[in-house]
Structure 1
């Protein structure tokens, strides 16, 4: 049954590369398009803004017809936009293409996650949703370094060609005859109204933003933080430790969600992140940093499907809307964390001090995770199960 989800995982991998790879080849793009790095950097902002806006406003509408059609349309838009990026003759076309790519990605993430959950039985729901996050993390961890190497040694346009190639593979797999995808349950009313009506969802979306700010935002500065602590030669190993942790965390968390329960796991994952930030804030031994980077990546990426399940397990009809808002909040939080780090470094704060700020903010994330778990308990009944299977505990 899980094999049916893999085309969505490949699509998510293409998205994971696209969301982060441009930041690593900004100078090459600026030289090629005869503009400044700052102007090209607006492309990252444009992608994130379009991702958040399109996901939260269009994802639910896209699923009113065929789920497969919504996936093909959003993935097709994503691929075409990235092809335009690869061929962009100037800044205007480049920025416009990043808006289109972000819009396609925002709808695709929400619909793919909801579709994955709908394609399996309730007892496998956590694993299916976690597989989509696995695609995102694998694309970020493996695809981004490869894309950056291509950009540095060949040309940044071939970096974008890599994203398009992976997206086309996913598109072809989804378009194959017999790859029917069940309809996604849909709630009545507007998406924003359903979020506003639930305290758990409000706190959960805020938690997604805070986790994006700390986990992904701080990761942006992992290399300068290590250098300030005299761990510059360990930088490559730390990056890969974080990445390996992310891939393992997102791959393994699904089974735990389905057996242990996301409400029990969510506060624990937030505490693991807190401990990881404390280690890099106050310790300087390379092995301590490697262990912290591994657990940081694992807990950070594992928290994505854990939060998705905690917010949607008893609201399957609202999965598309909730995931759209959650992922938009996470990416906006990542952008806010990166921007805050840039501002602090520009004000003269040593990079080695950034983990202390993340540590303070992560305390808020732990409190929010507990609130989300407690509020989820108040509306949870027996965990849905397949016919003939005993109900599991949420």
Structure 2
């Protein structure tokens, strides 16, 4: 594999770290900036909205840009956004920094797969994409707990400074290693893009994605306060628990991909959404016990992101059937849907914390995951009626 691919992987690692590390820093930021927990949690939501806007809109607007120059521009914006977060004098300025960083994130993952496949021969394309996305998994396993630890010991600003340094290294690596003459597919015409937005079957998948992630992030956004206030863990223990969670996520991602291959996306998603519903319901009762909370969080991680392969495979299969000239756009919109789910789940979690209790975020998240399960089964039934073989081995 070319060295340029590892520059992309480092970029994915830095971006994944800055997206999710905020979860472990919510109480720290709330105390330092003297804002409420829901206000600090809103930083998760606004970042996700930045990604949701950036993925489809900016990807479409930059469709004719040279891929390398676009990549370097995105990483420069990413570094700038994290430097602004490091020096943010107020809560409002931190919001601006997070939104800017989210915009860069959205476009990066929309074009990242195309760039990765441009670097290798055709028979190695899938491996190239897998290597690039390894950066996200490694971020959850190591970047997020390490960033949480740095934030708790040296201040949350130090975390953003470290992440911006990683982004700068990735930017330099991309500038030196990524070739200029990357292959570039024809951008989808406006009419073709519009077909994706109005296609009912694709909208159903986006709803599955939004509900699936919304259920998880209703509670996950406030995991650090839950572990401190409900379970009784010290702030120093949060980073270690996030490490355990990240390892579980890494295993769950691999398992989720194999499950989607073996059983097809609908059956795989049925299993995962069913498990998420039960786990979040259980968390409502186990969060008051240290042992019960850690065990539940460990199992939760195994399923929380395991739906990604199934959802991505499913949306591509349906796009190939209904909007064959805009498959990339359909895939990009699913990335937006992931982040809309994160944003709405985080906002809902904040409302629940303000109006009810931290404990209520879990069972309400379970209800949302159950809704994702119902939509999944309905979509599968529509596949059967239309004789669409999305549930075959991929």
Q: TM-score, normalised by structure 2?
A: 0.79
Query: Per-residue deviation at 1:118?
Result: 6.6
Match of 1:279 in 2: 282
Match of 1:388 in 2: none
C-alpha distance 96-292 of structure 1, shift in aligned 2 (>3 A): closer
Distance in 2 of aligned mates of 1:287 and 1:25: 22
- Contact (CA 8 Å) 1:12, 1:135: kept in 2 or not? yes
Matched, 1:328 2:336: yes
Query: Per-residue deviation at 1:218?
Result: 1.4
> Which shifted more, 311-320 or 164-173?
311-320
Q: Which digits, 9 at most, give the CA deviation of each residue in 1:73-99, with x for residues without a partner?
A: 222221222223324456665444333
Show structure 1 runs of 5+ residues with no match.
Answer: 384-391
Q: How many residues align?
A: 383
Q: 1:370 aligns with which of 374, 377, 380?
A: 377
Distance in 2 of aligned mates of 1:332 and 1:296: 21
Query: Per-residue deviation at 1:112?
Result: 1.6
C-alpha distance 359-22 of structure 1, shift in aligned 2 (>3 A): closer
Query: Per-residue deviation at 1:210?
Result: 0.9
Match of 1:19 in 2: 19
Match of 1:386 in 2: none
Q: What SS class does the counterpart of residue 187 from structure 1 fall into?
A: coil
Match of 1:360 in 2: 367
> Which shifted more, 149-158 or 368-377?
368-377
Match of 2:85 in 1: 85
Q: What SS class does the counterpart of residue 306 from structure 2 fall into?
A: helix
Match of 1:389 in 2: none
Distance in 2 of aligned mates of 1:286 and 1:62: 49
Query: Per-residue deviation at 1:129?
Result: 5.1
Distance in 1 of aligned mates of 2:143 and 2:34: 25
Query: Per-residue deviation at 1:116?
Result: 4.3
Q: Which digits, 9 at most, give the CA deviation of each residue in 1:285-317, with x for residues without a partner?
A: 766654542332122212123211211145375
Distance in 2 of aligned mates of 1:373 and 1:132: 30
- Contact (CA 8 Å) 1:72, 1:174: kept in 2 or not? yes
Match of 1:72 in 2: 72
Match of 1:304 in 2: 308
Query: Per-residue deviation at 1:145?
Result: 2.7
Distance in 2 of aligned mates of 1:223 and 1:69: 38
Distance in 2 of aligned mates of 1:362 and 1:382: 22
Match of 1:345 in 2: 353
Show structure 2 runs of 5+ residues with no match.
Answer: none
> Which shifted more, 292-301 or 314-323?
314-323
Match of 1:387 in 2: none
- Contact (CA 8 Å) 2:9, 2:134: kept in 1 or not? yes
Query: Per-residue deviation at 1:68?
Result: 2.9
C-alpha distance 182-235 of structure 1, shift in aligned 2 (>3 A): same
Query: Per-residue deviation at 1:59?
Result: 1.1
Query: Per-residue deviation at 1:161?
Result: 1.9
Query: Per-residue deviation at 1:279?
Result: 3.2
> Which shifted more, 109-118 or 122-131?
122-131
C-alpha distance 357-129 of structure 1, shift in aligned 2 (>3 A): farther
Q: Give the root-mean-square deviation of aligned CA atoms.
A: 3.9
